[in-house]
Amino acid sequence: IDTPGTWGRDYTREVIENYRNMAGMWLVGEDMPQADNRVTLHDTEKDQYGLPVPVVHFDEHPNDLAMRNHAYRMGSAVYEAAGGSKSYELPPFPGTHNLGTCRMSGNADEGVCGPSGATHDIPNLFISDGSQFTTGAAENPTLTIVALPIRQP
């Protein structure tokens, strides 16, 4: 229930006056994995503990934009069929299931860990969260995250 351009009293008034007739739809698609999307450490900037701060590099794939535009059209069509009079195409949230910072791969040149979550470079260190996935595969990753440690030796 977010109307572009409103804030403060105008926003509150619109929500209160129209709340009984509002609906929200959250359509989520898979971000295409891209080798250049990554988190690195800043060369010079440090945090309060003297550690390098992370630098996030993320570019959307053209397919990501095409899926989002398709979702906007289909979502609007659903509401129009139900008698809705307004639809707003809001930008996506910056992240829901953050994945891919310790990518699973066949070797250390392409990722951090192998299929069991064992890191390529540090013996007996295992990655047991969503960071080993290159993508979310358009589904909530929680069950897979919970199941993967069962495979660890």
49 domain-assigned: no
* Residue 53 included in any domain: no
DSSP 126: B
Dihedral sign of CA atoms 122, 123, 124, 130 in order: positive
Whether 126 is covered by a domain: the verdict is yes
Contacts of 134 (CB under 8 A, 6+ apart): 33, 99, 100, 103, 104
Mapped onto helix, strand or coil, the DSSP state of residue 104 is strand
Q: Where are the alpha helices (DSSP H) in 57-111?
A: 62-81
Higher-pLDDT residue of 20, 91: 20
88-91-94-97 Cα dihedral, nearest 10 degrees? 60
Check pLDDT > 90 for residue 44. Answer: yes
pLDDT above 70 as % of the chain = 91
Domain annotation covers residue 118: yes
Average pLDDT, the chain: 85
* pTM as predicted: 0.65
**Host domain of residue 139:** 97-153
> Mind listing the pLDDT tens digit for each residue in 91-112?
776 666 678 888 899 999 989 9
- Mean pLDDT to the nearest integer, 115-123: 92
